[in-house]
Structure 1
Amino acid sequence: MAKTTNHTPRMNAAHILDRVFFEEAYSHLALNEALQDSSLSEVDNRFVTEVVYGTIKRLNTLDYVLEQTMKQPFRKTDRRVKTILRMSAYQLLYMDRIPERAAINEGVELAKRWGRGGLKGFVNGVLRTVARQGLPDFKRISDPVQRIALETSHPEWLVRKWVQAYGEDVCRAMCETNLKRAYTTLRVNRLQTDRDTLQRDLQAEGIETSAGNLSPDSLIVTEGQAMHSASFAKGAFSFQDESSMLVTQALDVEAGLNVLDACAAPGGKTTYIAERMYDEGQVLANDIHPHKSMLIEQQVQRLGLESVTTRTEDATDLDDTFEAETFDRVLVDAPCSGLGVVRAKPDIKWQMNPEQIKELSALQLRILEAAAYVLKPGGTLVYSTCTLMPEENEEVVDAFLQKHYTSFAKDEVRSIFPQQYDSDGFFIAAMTKRGDKR
């Protein structure tokens, strides 16, 4: 991406959104890259962040409003003008502290600066109409799926799936929670410190935290930037959502075990496994992508762990690589749609589709089969995803257990919804391989 030092905050936001909408860039990566590359103030960076994430989170609602406002179909609008209208409409409809005049005038100015000066009258007219009409009364929509989709800004196909699986009330609560700002959660490195000590150390650096809701190893950041702390540099904690921590806890590890993390990147669960084993034993972190294995190694080094080794391999081939019954514990944190983490990565809900989910569920089952082969009798196999799609969760586990009903017993199956603990949405299934431990 080109240097953005001369860009205004809104121009920065427009470039990021353009990449996300039309080049399939990941929002968090595009945002981080642009902000690191700019000379904006901290206040301006916060503004850019809110406009980017807010516009993405509210995308289909904004498009619906703009479609109702314009004489021509919104989908046919010029790419840059479409981005300007979306982000300006977000400011008008959802950012109370932005004056109406400023949002409209800055949208027109952005059109001029971004090579669309000939359409400034059009932009001005549409935005004035949006400001005058405001949000429509969605309660008039009789179809509950469409109503929830527009009120909470989620794709209709996804809302329909969740309503069918969990009912309207749970679906709405989940969608509403997805619109909130995600917490930053820290996992204490129990090999170096404890939660109370880390909390005091961070406070001394101006970083305020509170105890987590689910794990005794977690802290929630309430003020400050923990990434830049001395405690992070020396490996006293990692960034990890609490729901994700529960996955490792379900493995029930102890010192001296031989553990496989089959789909390990970016390494949060791998390193937590090692910490809970007191760094005694063997933890093999496998991932299909070499560059991601390098990221795991960097985290291992920062945390001072010695029991972790990395391997680059397709997880569906693990049963060809290792002998049967090699590992005491196996974790399959499977590649998935990620629809449990849309609060932190809102573009996921617009990029995913039902066909991709079908392909993912088939892949998940193949990985689970390979993982089962290399697990010792008496060992625990944990299957997890950061999604709440039954096709990727219960249906995968049920298909696996139907085939292996004589060799595996289901210990625990748990879905964690975002609205329950203000954490990521997760699915966790723990299974035991029948037979005596060797």
Structure 2
Amino acid sequence: MTKNENPRYVAAKTLQAVFFKGAYSHLALDEQLKNHQLSAVDQRFVTEVVYGTIKRLNTIDYLLNGVMKNKVHKSDQRIQVILRMAVYQMFYLDRIPERAAIHEAVELSKQWGRVGLKGLINGVLRSLSRQGLPDFSSITPSSKRIAIETSHPEWLVKRWINAYGEEETRRLCTTNSERGKTTIRVNLRVTTVDAVQAELFEEGIETVKGELTKESLIVTKGVVTKSAAFKEGRLSIQDESSMLVARALNPKPSMKMLDTCAAPGGKTMHAAELMNDEGEIIANDVHAHKKRLIEKEANRLQLSIVHATTEDAVILAKTYQDVRFDRILVDAPCSGLGVLRSKPDIKWNTDEKEIRKLPALQLDILNTASKLLKDDGVLVYSTCTILPEENEHVVQEFLKNNEDFTLDESLQERIKIQSENQGYTTILPHQYGSDGFFICAMKKGSARHGNEN
């Protein structure tokens, strides 16, 4: 088998790019799959090994360090990759016998120019095979135990324990380490959920209905992006938690809406569908290349009311100083720590110090956007993170400084998520099997603003 045909070599090259070259996992994987000729079965195997190894990295390194004389991170780059992906196959892929994973790791070391270290690889992996998975329950403190057992940075586990308690944190971390799922949003403007489900079934794609929104389907078999329904705009890929954001906005036909940080455009398009493609949506993003993504998606869905713009969100009040919107969405830049199942490299690449800078930016965008809202309009603030300092703390600071805004207590009626806090909610990954998300709706009062419109 040549390198181009060996799925483990393709997985190894992808992981090397992620671990040592700062590549995003999905981009590195796409590039490698394009550059190598693999069957559909092997492509699925590579995807599983890449994402699984990244998700379980902390646990894998803990296991390796228990049997290696020197820490695994001090090893040669290629050896690190070979060992890590082999351990993932040994303990987390049921269909791969341990002896096969060890044999293939040794073969890969020879193919990848590390033949002299095949004895090291064989010895380390056989030691782990004899030892098996250890009992993590003896690890203390609890933050370290959860971090190692579920593979998360301990600093992040500590933050979540402080916010949600130990048991809730353990559950959300466990869910983060599980395999992600593909969820689709049916375009109810042009079809029905039942019709799309039947159409996909005819193409060999199996789905079940979602739990959080009436337009959602969860894919259980098949690749939905290859379907006619996707290509012809009858559905989109979007997580259920993310779908709730447009529902929180409650957009109506003929309204004028602003999405301040719109790319890649999923929430914008959902809102346009709910508006029956009647009205106007300004879909703004700071990056020019992302403007093109928004336009491409609007074209695929045949939505004419979406107008993509390129602007820094913190100066939108100046750009639209003579315009007022019925609905404004601030889906703010955030740490992304609610989407770790689909983007596991985030947890290893996130700098705790950088997170501390985000609330100021989020608040700045929120303050700017709020100036453009009509009286009695709705302002929605959302993030795909589950850190309180990026969510409710930002909202609380905004409300303290903007007395003409109040929490929209009718939010729960629209999104059907019960929360102790009327007007905003945090969705944790384990609660519904969806992404971690924060959604807040606020209304602007009209009493103090005369005839402003």
Question: What's the % identity of the aligned pairs?
Answer: 57
**Which residue of 83, 98, 101 corresponds with 2:99?**
101
Name the structure 2 match of 1:429.
Answer: 440
1:147-171 CA distance string (max 9 Å, x none) = 1111111110111000000001110
TM-score (normalizing by structure 2): 0.93
Name the structure 1 match of 2:405.
Answer: 408
Cα distance, 1:43 vs. partner?
A: 1.6
CA contact (8 A) 1:324 1:376 kept: no
Cα distance, 1:16 vs. partner?
A: 0.4
Describe the shift of the 1:355–1:334 C-alpha distance in structure 2 as closer, same or farther (beyond 3 A).
Answer: same
**Which residue of 147, 151, 161 corresponds with 1:153?**
151
1:304 aligns with 2:272: no
CA contact (8 A) 1:9 1:40 kept: yes
1:359 aligns with 2:370: no
1:193-213 CA distance string (max 9 Å, x none) = 111111122122221111110
- The 3-state SS of whatever aligns with 1:238 is strand
Name the structure 1 match of 2:62.
Answer: 64
1:36 aligns with 2:34: yes
Q: Distance in 1 between matches of 2:348 and 2:310?
A: 30
Q: Distance in 1 between matches of 2:134 and 2:311?
A: 51
| AA aligned opposite 1:33 | E
Cα distance, 1:37 vs. partner?
A: 2.6
**Which residue of 110, 113, 116 corresponds with 2:111?**
113
Cα distance, 1:325 vs. partner?
A: 5.7
Cα distance, 1:108 vs. partner?
A: 1.4
1:288-328 CA distance string (max 9 Å, x none) = 11111101101100101111100001101111211166111
Name the structure 2 match of 1:125.
Answer: 123
Q: Distance in 2 between matches of 1:307 and 1:107?
A: 54
CA contact (8 A) 1:375 1:433 kept: yes
- The 3-state SS of whatever aligns with 1:215 is coil
Give the aligned length. 434
Counterpart mapping for 1:267-306 below 5 A: 267-306=265-304
CA contact (8 A) 2:4 2:10 kept: no
Cα distance, 1:7 vs. partner?
A: 4.1
- The 3-state SS of whatever aligns with 1:69 is coil
CA contact (8 A) 1:5 1:40 kept: no
Cα distance, 1:104 vs. partner?
A: 1.2
The farther-off stretch of 83-92 and 277-286 is 83-92
1:123-147 CA distance string (max 9 Å, x none) = 1111111111122211111311011
Cα distance, 1:6 vs. partner?
A: 2.0
Counterpart mapping for 1:374-393 below 5 A: 374-393=372-391
- The 3-state SS of whatever aligns with 2:267 is helix
Cα distance, 1:346 vs. partner?
A: 0.8
1:102-135 CA distance string (max 9 Å, x none) = 2112111111111112211111111111111122
Q: Distance in 2 between matches of 1:7 and 1:251?
A: 49
**Which residue of 414, 420, 430 corresponds with 1:419?**
430
Cα distance, 1:410 vs. partner?
A: 1.1
- The 3-state SS of whatever aligns with 2:43 is helix
Cα distance, 1:349 vs. partner?
A: 0.8
1:24 aligns with 2:31: no
Q: Distance in 1 between matches of 2:223 and 2:118?
A: 39
TM-score (normalizing by structure 1): 0.97
CA contact (8 A) 2:3 2:111 kept: no
| AA aligned opposite 1:191 | R
Gaps of 5+ in 1: none
Cα distance, 1:74 vs. partner?
A: 2.2
Q: Distance in 1 between matches of 2:361 and 2:10?
A: 38
Q: Distance in 1 between matches of 2:346 and 2:374?
A: 36
Name the structure 2 match of 1:203.
Answer: 201
Q: Distance in 1 between matches of 2:210 and 2:169?
A: 25
Cα distance, 1:75 vs. partner?
A: 2.2
1:171-204 CA distance string (max 9 Å, x none) = 0110111112222111111221111111122122
| AA aligned opposite 1:408 | F
- The 3-state SS of whatever aligns with 1:20 is helix
Cα distance, 1:33 vs. partner?
A: 2.2
- The 3-state SS of whatever aligns with 2:85 is helix
Q: Distance in 2 between matches of 1:199 and 1:10?
A: 35
| AA aligned opposite 1:423 | S
Name the structure 2 match of 1:257.
Answer: 255
Counterpart mapping for 1:134-149 below 5 A: 134-149=132-147
Q: Distance in 2 between matches of 1:102 and 1:195?
A: 43
RMSD after superposition: 1.3
CA contact (8 A) 2:3 2:9 kept: no
